[in-house]
């Protein structure tokens, strides 16, 4: 058991966290997407502690975070030209690229895969921490496996109190959903997990952007998937969530007709729920707001003891696809299309 300490996102806090990382410990790290549980990506013993703190299945690989482009070539090989174009356009930022790994990345980090996911975060505290540590940081989202990703240091504390020595508190995450994950194919790019860097953004660079089926469809437990994370039921709040896909009018009609039984609504704004006499919680009127608020909303539903929830379906363009992808998992893929 650790006495988990909150550190400020200043020079002293970063220096203290970097010392812990050098000693092989795991620290709570802010990024622009969600908070991460960081450890030395090149030290198998340190990385094992991440899996233990999170209760994460050993076959789900970690993303390796870097702070400058020179680190890329030290970690991965056979880097296609397309990857450099992505780095130029989107790094530092919320994009993870899957590339063939070098031996320096231990198997525990890549979960035995021949590839590794690499990302250069834009959050200044994260980059300063990597620089101060002097090695790349493996970091999954800092939630207990199965619970919503943390977008504040308090969320991390709730899940990790006693499990890690410290958390750097850098406020709320600017983006709020995890990074976009892509892989490179002969003549295009495959989207494995949607994020703030959208399909539309990628299409500005590449003619051929394939959205993997696992992004919007449920994969069977025994299926061979392009990204192991697709298999897991993530972000599952205790409430039974159903996504209701339709116009505001259709949504209101449906909720009215199916109210009762401790129903609660998860809506864009009050106009979706006003006058229905059903308790509701707002999660944002546009994709970017929804991305920032989604995980906090899911955690609040649990705190409110919500049992049955109807969530208004987000628009699937831009970052909305990422919101939809996460909400779909939180809802166990239950969608009613009106």
122 touches ligand TXA by CB under 6 A:
no
Please choose which of Mg ion, ligand TXA, none residue 113 contacts, taking the beta carbon within 5 to 8 angstroms, the exact cut-off set by kind: ligand TXA
Please choose which of ligand TXA, Mg ion, none residue 227 contacts, taking the beta carbon within 5 to 8 angstroms, the exact cut-off set by kind: ligand TXA
**Between residues 225 and 285, which has the closer beta carbon with respect to ligand TXA?**
225
* CA distances in angstroms from 286 to 110, 180, 255, listed in the order given: 35, 19, 21
Q: Name the one range near ligand TXA by CB under 6 A: 58-66, 213-221, 276-284, 326-334.
A: 58-66
60 touches ligand TXA by CB under 6 A:
yes
Please choose which of ligand TXA, Mg ion, none residue 228 contacts, taking the beta carbon within 5 to 8 angstroms, the exact cut-off set by kind: ligand TXA
Find out whether 241 and 329 touch, Cβ atoms under 8 Å.
no
Question: What stretches of the chain show up as alpha helix (H) in DSSP?
Answer: 11-22, 44-54, 70-75, 81-90, 107-110, 124-133, 153-160, 199-203, 248-257, 287-303, 320-330
Please confirm whether the linkage preceding 92 is cis (ω < 30° from 0). yes
63 touches ligand TXA by CB under 6 A:
yes
Q: How far is the CB of 55 from ligand TXA (least distance, A)?
A: 13
The span from the CA of 42 to the CA of 156, in Å, is: 24
58 contact partners, CB below 8 Å, separation of at least 6: 51, 108, 111
Indicate the burial class of 112 (C-beta count within 10 angstroms; 0-12, 13-18, 19 or more): exposed
Q: How far is the CB of 141 from Mg ion (least distance, A)?
A: 3
178 touches ligand TXA by CB under 6 A:
yes
Q: How far is the CB of 106 from Mg ion (least distance, A)?
A: 20
Please choose which of ligand TXA, Mg ion, none residue 181 contacts, taking the beta carbon within 5 to 8 angstroms, the exact cut-off set by kind: ligand TXA
Query: In the structure encoding, which two tokens stand for residue 273, read together?
Result: 């729920």
Terminal-to-terminal C-alpha distance of the chain: 50
Q: How far is the CB of 179 from Mg ion (least distance, A)?
A: 10
110 touches ligand TXA by CB under 6 A:
yes
Residues that bind ligand TXA (CB under 6 A): 31, 33-34, 36, 60-63, 94, 96, 98, 110, 113, 115-117, 119, 139-141, 178-179, 181, 192-193, 227-229
Site residues, Mg ion (CB under 5 A): 141
């Amino acid at each position: 058991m650790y006495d988990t300490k909150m550190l400020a996102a200043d020079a002293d806090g970063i220096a203290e966290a970097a010392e812990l990382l050098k000693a092989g410990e795991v620290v709570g790290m802010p990024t622009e997407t969600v908070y991460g549980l960081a450890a030395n990506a090149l030290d198998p013993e340190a990385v094992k502690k991440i899996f233990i703190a999170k209760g994460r299945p050993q076959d789900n690989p970690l993303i390796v975070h870097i702070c400058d482009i020179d680190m890329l070539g030290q970690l991965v090989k056979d880097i296609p030209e397309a990857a450099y174009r992505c780095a130029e356009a989107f790094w530092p930022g919320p994009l993870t690229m899957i590339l063939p790994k070098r031996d320096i990345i231990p198997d525990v980090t890549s979960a035995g895969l021949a590839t590794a996911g690499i990302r250069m975060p834009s959050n200044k505290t994260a980059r300063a921490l990597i620089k101060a540590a002097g090695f790349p940081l493996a970091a999954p989202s800092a939630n207990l496996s199965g619970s919503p990703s943390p977008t504040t240091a308090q969320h991390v504390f709730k899940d990790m109190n006693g499990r890690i020595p410290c958390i750097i508190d850098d406020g709320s995450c600017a983006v709020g959903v995890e990074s976009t994950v892509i892989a490179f194919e002969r003549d295009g790019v495959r989207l494995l997990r949607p994020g703030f860097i959208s399909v539309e953004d990628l299409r500005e660079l590449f003619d051929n952007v394939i959205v993997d089926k696992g992004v919007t469809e449920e994969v069977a437990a025994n299926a061979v998937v392009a990204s192991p994370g697709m298999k897991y039921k993530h972000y599952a709040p205790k409430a039974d969530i159903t996504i209701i896909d339709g116009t505001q009018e259709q949504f209101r009609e449906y909720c009215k007709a199916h109210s009762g039984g401790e129903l609660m609504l998860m809506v864009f704004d009050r106009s979706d729920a006003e006058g229905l006499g059903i308790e509701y919680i707002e999660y944002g009127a546009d994709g970017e707001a929804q991305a920032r608020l989604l995980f906090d909303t899911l955690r609040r539903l649990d705190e409110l003891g919500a049992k049955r929830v109807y969530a208004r379906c987000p628009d699937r363009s831009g970052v909305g696809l990422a919101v939809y992808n996460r909400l779909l998992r939180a809802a166990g893929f239950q969608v009613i299309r009106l």
